[in-house]
Amino acid sequence: MSRPVPADLLEIAEALVPDAPPGSARLAEHGNMHHVVLFPGVAAVRITRRPDAAAELPRRVGILRAVAAAGLPFAVPEPLTAVTTFGERAAVAVSWIDGAGLPEGAGDPAAFGPLLEALREVEVSPELQAVLHRPRRYAGGSGWADILTGEVVPRLPAKWRDAVRQRLDTLLALEEVPARLVHGDLGGGNVHFGEDGKPAGVLDWDLAILSDPAIDAALVATWHGWDVLGATDEETRRRARIWNDAVGVEHLHAVFTGRPLSHVEGFVRAVVAWLEERG
């Protein structure tokens, strides 16, 4: 969905894409880090909402450049401008990606199998290593397992603690695999498909990491349905289930950053809601 663009955002977007057709700009529905102004068929302009996002934007643009150079068989947004500051905001224009996302619960295994394989087979170049975080299980208290076991599980309602501990034990018992390119947010509108039903492009690489490819498989399955993993190998499907079972794979990006959780109680509420819904 998109809507008209507020004047302050439109001024920034038009400064970066001055040749866009007049009146074509639309504001995309997006997250709490960025506004995204769309010039359909031409470009998308990402405009930060907060100072912390402005400070992070150059690294995120570096991720786009490194991923674009990886030779993936589908389009990724490529920076068209330098990161430009406008007061406390920063902005960048990126290339337009054709196609459209699929609604929740829809997806063809024949499309997602090759997509996941393509990501898994990307060579981890020095450029990717320079811009992507590699989550650690244990890192002096800031590893993802440290945070979940030390900060999150003790705050869960008593009825969930033992079950989550057991699922975390199963997750931690997984043999570590070589770290590969993981998109980190494969679902919703981030995967665009062409009229032929094949992936045309993948957007929004902000949460990309170097880790287990089964994480992406789990993210695909939680949005599109577990049946879409029918074209992947049995081991990937098994690992994907385990990555999802503990606290919901979509929540893990918050503990993969290598930084302590800034809003532990909010994270716990999200996990509890997921546990209650899952039953």
What's the CA gap between 168 and 152, in Å, rounded?
Answer: 12
Per-residue pLDDT of the chain (279 residues; tens, 9 = 90+): 568 899 999 999 999 999 999 999 999 977 778 999 999 999 999 999 999 999 999 999 999 999 999 999 999 999 999 999 999 999 999 999 999 999 988 889 999 999 999 999 999 999 999 999 999 999 999 999 999 999 999 999 999 999 999 999 999 999 999 999 999 999 878 999 999 988 999 999 999 999 999 999 999 999 999 999 998 999 999 999 999 999 999 999 999 998 889 899 999 999 999 999 997
Entry pTM: 0.94
CA-to-CA separations, 171 to 148, 211, 249, in angstroms, rounded: 12, 14, 11
| Cβ atoms of residues 184 and 215 within 8 Å | yes
* Amino acid (one-letter) located at 130: A
Tokens representing 11 are 């001024």
All structural domains of the chain = 2-95 (3.30.200.20), 109-278 (3.90.1200.10)
Structure confidence by residue, pLDDT tens digits, 37-50: 999 999 999 999 99
What's 176's DSSP letter? Answer: P
Tokens representing 19 are 């040749």
What's the CA gap between 160 and 168, in Å, rounded?
Answer: 12
What's the CA gap between 152 and 276, in Å, rounded?
Answer: 16
Structure confidence by residue, pLDDT tens digits, 101-123: 999 888 899 999 999 999 999 99
| Cβ atoms of residues 212 and 237 within 8 Å | no
